[in-house]
Structure 1
Amino acid sequence: MDRSLLEDYARLTARMALGPVHMGACALDAVRCDSTCLTPDEQAALALVDTAGGVLLVVGPTGSDRGLRVVREPAAFTEAFGGGAIDTVVVADGPSALAAAALGRAVADAVEKPVAALVRGLGMAELATAEMGGSVAFGFADEMLRLTRAMLGAAAPLLGAEDEPLPSETLADLLQADPTGIRLLVGHGRGAFVIAEALRHMNGRRRRLTVVSLGAQAPLPEEVEAYQLIGDLDAVGWLNACSEQGRRVVPLAGHHLNRWLPGALPVTALLREILGQRLNVGTGAGTPRAAPEAAAQAEAPEQEQGAPTPPAG
């Protein structure tokens, strides 16, 4: 049999095997992120996004006619949205497209314009990395992913694990391809460490960047303008507190972002405090207004100040 047919068959089989795992990851992400900010049609469309990673989502604010758009290749994103058309990129803690889109919607509501969300994906190497502790020990996840990708590539080359994109490499390529457009990076949990790893390869490109970390304390370069927000009840975040740069502790907040559950980190409210409400990121993200102390002293998510009624059913 032709080797290419064998490779296609092996990769298809691997993706079919990952189907239930991906469904489980989506279910977990639906609990720890605020998926209710996405419409049912958007959630249905996200279920069809490839689990292999390296996909970018363009997410508009709530109620915007921009909605949600899937961009399969970073090069296509740069061609369509480079040069400052979209200047904010977010990386979620969870590997699913649902987690990326939910975080993207929360950030888009804060900056009041569309943002790009990088889908980390859930391939064979990512699954092995998570099983070895990469889903908790964020600081080692990137190196573990490189190791498992190489090991799987050597042991089972037909599975194509070596072709799985590294999220940090995808983000670094995106920054290099659009050196003047992207100004704001937002990462939650492991996503913050993806940003930190990507910036390690961005010498001479850091000063114009503002980085906001949520639920993690990543070792960011000193040149960037860093805001690292962590809840005082966030056990996972404190376990990954590798730096005190830009640290702001949010009282009574945990690691998750689901505003329908107690202890959520209020992403939109905190970003508005940091960047200034109604700030045009396209003209000022590189030099944001000084964040008031209230950003670190928010006592509860937005819903505690006149909580909306959860949708029926």
Structure 2
Amino acid sequence: MFQTAFTLTLTQFARTLSLPERLQRSPLRNLTLEALRQRNTALDALFYDVKVITPDEAFYLSGSLAAEGSIMIVPPSGGAAITLCETLEEFALRGGGNAPALAIAGIGGSALGAAAFARNVADAIGAPVAVVVSGYGLADIVTEAFGGHFFFGHLRGLRPVFEMLDDFAGRPKFGATDKNDGETASRTSLDTRTVRALLADPRFSFRLLAGHSKGNLVISAALHDLYKQDQVRAETLAKRLKIVTIGTRIAMPPIFTDVVDIIGEWDWFGEMNSRPFISTDQHIPHAWHHTNTDLAGHLPVTRVLKEILADATISQESEAAPTLHVVAEPEASKAETTVPRSSERTTRRPATIDKVKEAFSEKTLPDIPPRKTDRSGEMQPPKPH
């Protein structure tokens, strides 16, 4: 628990140091939101395994905790440093094509929580993971006032409606810009548009989508929008994508059949926000909604994903496409987790993914040059040493 507290304290301290610079643009908006952003970062520190984020990385992310729509490349523990990207083009230039998985976190929507969840996924597959920051803006304040963050599964339409408030107040634009989104831009949030743009871009070949809590709602909305706009691309993705939802059960487009819904045995919050007509594929014993391994009742994301992917049948569309590498679990660790094998689980969707055609191989990120761009209202954090 000490490491979790240390990471949170360091992040909050560095964030405070960056406040004068961030106030140079949209001062009223940033002053209004800063206390709530700090609160959400503390929530993420409780709900996510933030101790897997190094001190240098925590300092690096502190100035962009609420940069909604920004994309991070998160390698496994002990690998290269986290890379923060403002746009899809920067993501592609900095090695985004090497990421075989895309992760979306929920709860507070901070970059710290998103990075921690993505690192748990990266440690499971042994490869870098892309993750989109949900952020916290004026639209979230209004949504929260209506109970949208508590009943996010049933009031999902509120947040996109109020996105115009953030645009009017001068919100910095990260991720997918509005110019290519047409009418859909006014009806979806920035994080959803960014996820949809990543999935629609043929430069990226994700084989795994992993979401936690509200992040599953973002994935669902992005896939539904993509299916409406580009059915051919959606069908191509459906042939190779494995989707793992953690903490909530949200409906995906029917063509995406390889979906595993996981929820903790004690997770009443996740059950309350889940679709009752969707059955749970795995109940994790003695687990609640949080994934922080420092706290009792956590859902062990890395171990559960290793178990699922060890039994998965993930096809490769081409030899150039990034692959998933399931990291072997030590025997001592296997005995600590009682996750049912796939042969013991009931399947609610028919499998449509081919057998593995070749062995998984680990991917690493290329060296990343120092950032020199201005973050347009968000602090440009120093590159970790």
Smaller-chain TM-score range?
Answer: 0.7 to 0.9
2:50 matches 1:35: yes
State the Cα deviation string for residues 202-222 of structure 1 (Å, max 9, x = none). 333223211110000011123
Indicate the residue corresponding to 1:306 in structure 2.
none
Indicate the residue corresponding to 2:35 in structure 1.
20
Cα distance in 2 for residues equivalent to 1:115 and 1:166: 20
Seen in structure 2, the aligned counterparts of structure 1 residues 245 and 174 have a Cα distance that, compared at 3 Å, is farther
Query: Does the Cα contact within 8 Å between 1:88 and 1:183 map onto a contact in 2?
Result: yes
**Counterpart pick for 1:215 among 215, 238, 247:** 247
Seen in structure 2, the aligned counterparts of structure 1 residues 222 and 179 have a Cα distance that, compared at 3 Å, is farther
Indicate the residue corresponding to 1:160 in structure 2.
170
Seen in structure 2, the aligned counterparts of structure 1 residues 96 and 295 have a Cα distance that, compared at 3 Å, is farther
- The percentage of counterpart residues that share the same residue type is 31
**Counterpart pick for 1:194 among 196, 218, 221:** 218
Structure 2's unaligned 5+ residue stretches are 1-22, 175-188, 317-321, 326-339, 346-385
**Counterpart pick for 1:275 among 291, 302, 309:** 309
User: Once superposed, which parts of structure 1, at least 4 consecutive aligned residues long, lie more than 4 Å away?
Assistant: 161-165, 277-281
Seen in structure 2, the aligned counterparts of structure 1 residues 163 and 190 have a Cα distance that, compared at 3 Å, is same
Indicate the residue corresponding to 2:124 in structure 1.
110
Query: Does the Cα contact within 8 Å between 2:207 and 2:242 map onto a contact in 1?
Result: yes
Cα distance in 1 for residues equivalent to 2:128 and 2:172: 32
- SS of corresponding position for 2:292: coil
Counterpart of 1:57, as a letter, is: M
Cα distance in 2 for residues equivalent to 1:284 and 1:86: 9
Higher alpha-carbon deviation: 34-43 or 47-56? 47-56
Seen in structure 2, the aligned counterparts of structure 1 residues 277 and 133 have a Cα distance that, compared at 3 Å, is same
Indicate the residue corresponding to 1:54 in structure 2.
69
Query: Does the Cα contact within 8 Å between 2:100 and 2:323 map onto a contact in 1?
Result: no
Indicate the residue corresponding to 2:270 in structure 1.
237
Task: Map 1:118-137; keep pairs closer than 5 Å.
Answer: 118-137=132-151
Cα distance in 1 for residues equivalent to 2:311 and 2:61: 29
Query: Does the Cα contact within 8 Å between 1:186 and 1:211 map onto a contact in 2?
Result: yes
State the Cα deviation string for residues 76-133 of structure 1 (Å, max 9, x = none). 2134435x41121111013100110000110000001111111000111122212322
**Counterpart pick for 1:259 among 280, 283, 293:** 293
- SS of corresponding position for 1:236: helix
Query: Does the Cα contact within 8 Å between 1:226 and 1:246 map onto a contact in 2?
Result: no
Q: Deviation at 1:43?
A: 1.3
**Counterpart pick for 2:341 among 286, 292, 301:** 292
Query: Does the Cα contact within 8 Å between 1:110 and 1:277 map onto a contact in 2?
Result: no
What is the CA RMSD across the aligned residues, in angstroms? 2.9
Structure 1's unaligned 5+ residue stretches are 1-7, 286-290, 297-313
Q: Greater relative contact order: 1 or 2 (C-alpha under 8 angstroms, separation 6 or more)?
A: 2
